[in-house]
Chains A and B, each alone.
Chain A
């Protein structure tokens, strides 16, 4: 039985092509995925991301709890509204999920986790929370709309209710602010500036229309994927999962090693791996030949070993194939990718291809 967001009728109205995404009926595109991609890079687009799971964690034990639960350290959040990206690890250092947590108040943090991992995340978090004094409340009463692109904030501010708009106007990057039941974070998953807006489901359809009125076009989850890959942002379940640590997933930077006495789940395992030196790394690939990189293609690094593409696509901005790939740690600047029996040449780079509309590759 598939679930529908509060904006489902809007997707149909705008000609959205509906597909199943983690048990949700979601629009993959509204016509052309490439045009929607360019719309976000060049102007402003919006995505219904209401399928994502929002959890409010409240209680006076919430800070010590999150310091134990997450590999990144919420003590880094000094100001209310600030967001932190983190992995949630298992004891072996594998990634249960990646998430964003917002510091709302000293006794209230809001966490956004993936839709596909909702059930296992909630079970895990509840298990770990037993020793802490906190309440966990799933906010399935909220819809979420991501507005992204160089002109997204300016346009969205016109469409937001006046009190929310005032709260959102001066947000720095990676900060959020609430007003009543609305919450606006200056965050995203596209490599462009913009907002992620949470609001009561009952107001979602009307607000969607207001965003259209302000000149923001609907974009599907297809464009969201090509945008995030160009931006070098990992996708859970594809670029990392419970069998891979952050260190071999390009996410070592999200582990807060200091203070050394902070005991977080998975610490021992990732420390041991770091000590030994990780055997693999996550890199970016740019295909010099014509073709399209796709997940699971074999990567061959001469004299070093083999790896695998974790996610690949045709980059609409760069007009060539790009990918993230997990390869042996000793991989240098070149590799081959096997596509339908042929070995094609690819360059190995840091996995950031496009940021703020600009190419990051030579």
Chain B
């Protein structure tokens, strides 16, 4: 069984989203997603200061098997990226919710995050796959 922490939101494309105290939002991929992808060997991070609409492909995670797009969970501007992934992309496998975070955004609208799935909804969603 994959881990699904309660203190975050989730997307249908398996990103997790955590609201930080400073109003920014951290994004990564779920434990379930990293399991499906297998060993991650390369991450193409988004550019800081770039803006994306919700559901835009904004960066790429490559496993030994294939390249997968990561989608913007909510509309916003990228304010930081996890540079540790440049040398250690497999942090996404070993620590998907902590050291393996991918980027932070400043949401265009603070209300948007509430539209995403909570942990129990996401759990039901992946159980149907």
Contact = CB atoms under 8 A, between A and B. Distances in A.
Given A290-B86, A340-B60, A33 B42 contact: no
B65 A222 contact: yes
A209 to B, nearest CB: 26
B67 A292 contact: yes
B65 A33 contact: yes
B65 to A, nearest CB: 7
Contact of B67 (A29, A290, A294, A316): A294
Interface residues on chain A, size class? 10 to 19
Given A290-B86, A294-B67, A33 B62 contact: no
A32 B42 contact: no
B41 A314 contact: yes
Contacts of A33: 38-39, 64-65
Given A292-B67, A340-B44, A32 B38 contact: yes
A190 to B, nearest CB: 15
Contacts of B86: 290
Interface in A20-42: 28-29, 32-34
A314 B62 CA distance: 9
A314 B61 CA distance: 13
Interface residues on chain B, size class? 10 to 19
A294 B42 CA distance: 13
A217 interface: no
Interface in A204-256: 222, 226
A28 B60 CA distance: 22
B44 A222 contact: no
B60 A313 contact: no
Nearest to A225: B64
A33 B64 CA distance: 8
A314 B65 CA distance: 9
A321 B60 CA distance: 16
A161 interface: no
A278 interface: no
A58 to B, nearest CB: 41
Contact of A290 (B38, B39, B42, B65): B42
Interface in B41-66: 41-42, 44, 60, 62, 64-66
B41 A292 contact: yes
Nearest to B39: A34
Interface string B78-121: 00000000100000000000000000000000000000000000
Interface hub of A32, A222, A314, A316 (most chain B Cβ within 10 A): A314
A314 B39 CA distance: 10
A291 interface: yes
A297 B63 CA distance: 17
A228 B43 CA distance: 24
Nearest to B65: A222
Nearest to B93: A32
A313 B64 CA distance: 6
Nearest to B60: A340
A32 B37 CA distance: 10
Interface hub of A34, A226, A313, A340 (most chain B Cβ within 10 A): A34
A292 B39 contact: no
A222 B64 contact: yes
Contacts of B42: 290-292, 314, 321
B64 A314 contact: yes
6 contacts: A28-B65, A33-B38, A33-B39, A33-B65, A291-B42, A340-B60
What are the 6 A-B residue pairs with the smallest beta carbon separation, nearest first?
A314-B41, A34-B39, A292-B62, A292-B42, A33-B64, A33-B39
